[in-house]
Chain A
Amino acid sequence: MDLARSAETPSPDALPCADGKLGNYLSGDVPDENKWADCVHCGLCLEACPTYLETGHEHQSPRGRVHLIKAVAEGKIGLNESFMDPVFTCLDCRACETACPSNVQVGGLIEEARGQVRRAHPLKGWKGWVSRFFLHGVFPHPGRLEMLGKGLRLLKRSGLSSFARRIGLMKLLPSQLEEMERVTPIPGLPVRKKLPEVVPARGKRKERVALLTGCVMDAVFGDVNEATVRVLTRNGYEVHIPRSQTCCGALHVHAGDREAGRELALRNMEAFSDADHVLVNAAGCGCAMQEYPELFREDPALRQKAEAFAEKVMDVSRFLTRYGFERPKGEIRARASYHDACHLAHGQGVREEPRWILRSIPGLEWVEMANADRCCGSAGIYNLTHPEMAGAVLRRKMEDVPEDAELIPMGNPGCMLQMSVGVLREGRRSKVVHTMELLDRSYRIGDREGKEASSCSDGKSGGWILSSGN
C-alpha cells in the first residue's frame, strides 16, 4: 500500500484560511517551517532524549525527527508509516527543548506533524474505536468522566477489583492496564461535584483565581484537587471552579487530533474568560493551555485571544511562590525526593517553585533525585500506546529514584500513576504524592494542636493516607 499522499489531495478539514502547501504535507496546519529553521543539526539534544537513549536510533532522536519533518516538507519522504513511527514514538517530553542551544520547539513540531499524520491516516479498527471513545466520548464530557470515576470508586471500594484480581480476571487486561488499575487510588469525590462554584478565601481575600480541575485529576485524584483548593483558600485566594470548563485538550493534541484540541480550547477560553488567573495543578494540562496559541497559528484573531488567555495560565506552585503562601508548620518526618514532571520543568520552566514549597515543610528530609527532570514514560497515554518503550523509560527513571525515598512528590497526575507503577514493579515502599497534597497535609497537621506525629519513617509510609477526609 502506498501510504504517501500527494499534497494535492484535498483535505476535508483544511482550515479555511490556509491554502499553503508544503511538500508532501496535506494543505492547512502544516508543520511550521520557522520552527525547524532554528535547528542547525548540532546534536546537543541527543543525550537528553529518552527514546534516543533507549534505541540509539537517529530517527528516534529530536534532531532526527526534526530532520524527517523537514524531509516531508522537502518532498523527500512521504507522510507514511515509517514517518509515523518516529513522530508517534516521541514522548513529547520536551527535554530536548531544554538542551537545545537555539530554542527549537520540537514539541510543537511533533504535535503539528502528528496532526498531519492523523488527517492522512485516521486510526482504524479497535485502536480508532478506543481513541474515539476516550478522546471524544469521555474526556470532553465532565458528566461521563464523573460516571467513570464513580465506577472506579465502586470497583475499588467494594473490593470487586481485588476479588477480580484474586480470581485472575484482571489477568485478562493488558499488563500495563492491570498495573495501572492496581496503583489507582480509591478516587475521592471530584471537586466539581463536591465544592461550590466559588470557594471563598479564608480571611481577607488577596486574589481571585480559577482552577482547572482536569479530567484524570478530578476523576482519579479528586483528593489532590481538594487539597489544592484548601491550600489556595487558606492563603487568601478565592477559588472559582467554572462549571462550563472542559478537558484541556492536551491528550487530543498529543494524539494528533488538533481539531478537537481547538474545540476544547475555545470552550475553555470561554469558560475562564472572567478569570484573572487560571491555575492548574496538572503539568500536562497547564503546558497545553499555555500553548493554545499554537493551535490557532492560522487564525490571527483567535490566536491573539489564545495568547491573552495563555498569559493567565499558571501552575499552582508557581502562583503560590509568586503571590505568596503561608509557611507550613506541621511536621512531616519523611525522606522526600522530587520528580520534575516534563511539562512542568521542560514545558513551563517550573523547577524551583515546587522545591521551595516542599522544602519549606518542617521535618521533610530532602534527597535530590539524579536526572530528576528525565521523563518517567507516562507522557499522557503513551504508557498505554507504547507500553514497551514506556516501560524501558520507566526502568531507567526508577534507577535514579533514591531507594530510600519515602515520598516522591510531583506535579502531574499522569506521572503519579506511572511512577506508582514503577514503585510497584520495583517492589519499593515509596509513596507517590502531589506537591499540593504534602503542603496541605503540613498545614493541617500544623493546625491540629499538639502536632501529632506523622512520621512515616516507621516503615508504614505505604499506608500513609494523605487525605483523611476530616
Chain B
Amino acid sequence: MFGRKKRRLDPLIRQLMEWVGETNVLYRREDLVAYECDGFTLKKGEARAVVFPADTREVAAVVRLLHRENVPFIARGAGTGLSGGATPLGGEVIISLVKMKKLLRVDLDNRIAVVQPGFVNLKLTQSIADRGYYYAPDPSSQYACTIGGNVAENAGGAHCLKYGVTTNHILGAEVVLPDGEVIRIGDEGIPDMPGYDLLGLLTGSEGTLGIVTEITVRILKAPQGKQTLLAYFDDVEEASRAVSDIISAGILPAALEMMDRTAIEAVESANFPVGHPLDIEALLLVEVDGIEAGLKSQVEDITELCRRRNVREVKTARDEKEAAAWWANRKTGFGAMGAISPDYLVQDGVIPRSTLPEVLGKIREISRDTGLRIANIFHAGDGNLHPLILFDERKPGEKERALEAGSRCLKVCAEVGGTITGEHGVGIEKREEMRFVFTKEEIAAQIRLRDVFNPGNLLNPGKGFPQPGRCAEVKQEIKERRMAEG
C-alpha cells in the first residue's frame, strides 16, 4: 500500500527521502501549513517540503540535489526570527536544522564551544554554567532560538551593549555552500585569519550565502558579581535622557533596557508579571556586572543619575531570583503583546542614543496617524528600538496600516542618522526599507557579492533586498483582496 503511495509522490520528495529517510521529509499540505511563516507572521508562503538532515553529509547531499534540480531552498532553525528570514515565498524546500542539535565539544582552556546549528542558544549557557562559564549573546528568544539561526541573523540581545552581538562571538564555522560544497572558515584559537573576513560576511547574511552546519563560539567566564536595577519614570523623555547620561558618564552596563507604558501594560497582564506600577511612563532595567568590589559605586552612580532626571523610584534586585524574574518579564515582552492585542509587528530600528526623545515623539505621531497603539521595548543602551505595532489582522485594513506604521518608524530612524535593523534582519519584512539607507548602486553591489556565493540565487531567494517591481505587486495584491472582499 505504501509502495503505491510512494510511486505517486513527487519524484523530488522521493529523492529527498532517499537521502534523509522517509520520516524526515514532510510534504503533506497540512504538515507544511505550520511552516508557512516564522516569528514574522505578516507574510506567509507554502513550502514544497521540509527536510530534516541529521548531519553535514546529509545537508550537503540535499543541497547538491536541490542545486542540480534547480529547486530553491531555505535553511531554518527554530523559526523564531522576526523578519521572515525563514519564511517560504512559495515552492522552496525548507532544510530544517533542528535535528542537528548537539553540543559537540566544550574546551574551557581555549574558552570555546563547538555546536551544531540546531543547538538552542540558552542550552549552551545552561550546559557550562556549573563550570562558571556562559555564552554572551542572549536574544530574547534564547529559550528556543538556535545558534545556527543566530549566526544567520547576527542576533543581538539585551547584553550586547557590553559584550557585542553574535558576530563578536563566532570563531569558526563549517558551511555548506549553495552548490553543496562543504567548506570551513575561521580557525579556532586564531582570532584573525589573513584574507577577507568571510566569517564576518557570513554572520548576518540571513541564510543567503551558505548553511552553517557546525559553529565554534567563544564562551566567557561568568562575571564575579552582578547587580540589577529598576528605575521607574513618570516621563519618557526623562528616562531617555537618563540613558544618555549613564553612557556618557562612562558607565558601561551589561544591559540597559527600556519599556514604555504600553509595553509595561502588556508584560504585566501576561504570564510573567512582576508588579511594575501601571501608571509610570517608562522603566529602565539596568544590569551592571564585573568585579564585585566595583559594582556598588556603579549602582550608586546610576541611581544618582536617575534621580537627577526625576525618577520616581529606583530599586536593586534583592537576590538572583528577583533579578531573574525581572529579566523573564522583559525577555518575554514581545510574546506578551498577545495578552493585549491579537497581532503585533515589531520593528527594529537603530538610532543615535541622543535622538531617543525626538524619535519617540515621532513614533507617537505615527501611532496617532494610523490609529494603532505602539508599545516600545528597546535596548536603550545601544539605541536599538523595538516599536511594537499592535493590530488585529481580522479587521480589514489594519494589517496594511500596521505595515505602513512600521515602515514609517524605520524612515524616522534612517532620517535621524540611524538604520533600519539592529538585530532582527531584513528578511522579507524590510526589503523595501533597504532603500532608506542604501542607494541603488550600493544595493546592486551587495547583490553582486551574494552572487559570488549563491550565483543561482537558489538559497533563500527573495530575502534581504528590494524586489524589482514589488510596488506593482503590492498594489495588485491589495486590489485583488478588495475585490475578494467585495
Please classify the interface of chain A as helix (H, G, I), strand (E, B), loop, or mixed, using the class held by over half of its residues.
Answer: loop
* Residue in A59, A64, A98 whose Cβ sees the most chain B Cβ within 10 Å: A59
Chain A residues 27 to 54 lying within 8 A of chain B, measured CB to CB, are 37-47
In terms of DSSP, what is the predominant structure of the interface of chain B? loop
Cα A287 to Cα B178 in complex, Å, equals: 51
- Which of A74-82, A195-203, A333-341 touches B? A74-82
B28 at the interface (CB under 8 A from A): yes
Cβ-defined partner of B28 (8 Å) among A41, A42, A58, A82:
A82
Q: In this complex, what residue of A is CB-closest to B393?
A: A37
B337 touches which one: A43, A46, A57, A102 (CB < 8 A)?
A: A102
Please report the C-alpha to C-alpha distance between residue A77 and residue B37 in the assembled complex, in whole angstroms.
16
Q: Which of A45, A58, A77, A86 has the most CB of B within 10 A?
A: A58
A82 touches B29 (CB 8 A): yes
Contact A39 B143 (CB under 8 A): no
Given A101-B270, A101-B332, A102-B338, does the pair A83, B80 have CB atoms closer than 8 Å? no
| B339 near A77: Cβ-Cβ < 8 Å | no
- Measured between beta carbons, the chain B residues less than 8 angstroms from A64 are 34
Residues of B with C-beta under 8 A to A76: 33
State the Cβ distance, A5 to closest chain B Cβ, in Å.
15
Q: Bound complex: CA of A68 vs CA of B337, how far in Å?
A: 21
Is A71's CB within 8 Å of the partner chain B?
A: yes
- Using Cβ atoms and an 8 Å threshold, which residues of chain A touch B35? 58
B141, A80: Cβ atoms closer than 8 Å: no
B34, B270, B343, B392: the one contacting A67 at CB < 8 Å is B34
Known: A43-B78, A43-B80, A43-B144. A67 touches B33 (CB 8 A): yes
Report which of B101, B144, B392 forms a contact with A44, defined as CB distance below 8 A. B144
Is the Cβ of B41 less than 8 Å from the Cβ of A40? Answer: yes
Query: How many angstroms from the CA of A323 to the CA of B145 in the assembled complex?
Result: 43
Given A102-B270, A103-B339, verify A82-B30 contact (CB < 8 Å). Answer: yes
| B39, B79, B99, B144 pick with most chain A CB within 10 angstroms | B144
- Whether, in the assembled complex, A398 has its beta carbon less than 8 Å from a beta carbon of chain B, the answer is no
Are B271 and A101 within 8 A (Cβ)?
yes
Instruction: Verify B144–A57 contact, CB threshold 8 A.
Output: no
Q: Is the CB of A57 within 8 A of B141?
A: no
Partner of A101, one of B28, B120, B335: B335
> Is residue B344 within 8 Å, beta carbon to beta carbon, of the partner chain?
yes
Q: Point out the residue from A56, A82, A99 that lies within 8 Å of B98, measured CB to CB.
A: A56
**Does any Cβ of B come within 8 Å of A104's Cβ?**
yes
Chain B contacts for A417, CB-based, 8 A: none
B334 at the interface (CB under 8 A from A): yes
Q: A43 touching B98 by the CB < 8 A rule?
A: no
The answer to whether A375 has its CB under 8 Å from any CB of chain B is no
Residue of B nearest to A102 (CB): B338
B33 partner, pick from A39, A68, A102, A103, beta carbons under 8 A: A68
- The verdict on B134 contacting chain A, using a C-beta distance below 8 Å, is no
Partner of A104, one of B41, B99, B143, B338: B338
Question: For residue A36, which residue of chain B has the nearest CB?
Answer: B342
Task: Give bound CA distance, A37 to B34, whole Å.
Answer: 16
Is B31 an interface residue when CB atoms closer than 8 A count as contact?
yes
Provided the pairs A46-B78, A47-B144, A56-B98 are in contact, do residues A40 and B335 lie with their beta carbons within 8 angstroms? yes
Q: Which 10 A-B pairs have the closest CB atoms?
A: A102-B338, A101-B335, A82-B30, A101-B332, A64-B34, A42-B335, A59-B34, A37-B342, A43-B80, A58-B34
Some 7 contacts from A to B, beta carbons below 8 A apart, are A39-B338, A42-B338, A43-B38, A43-B80, A46-B144, A58-B34, A64-B34
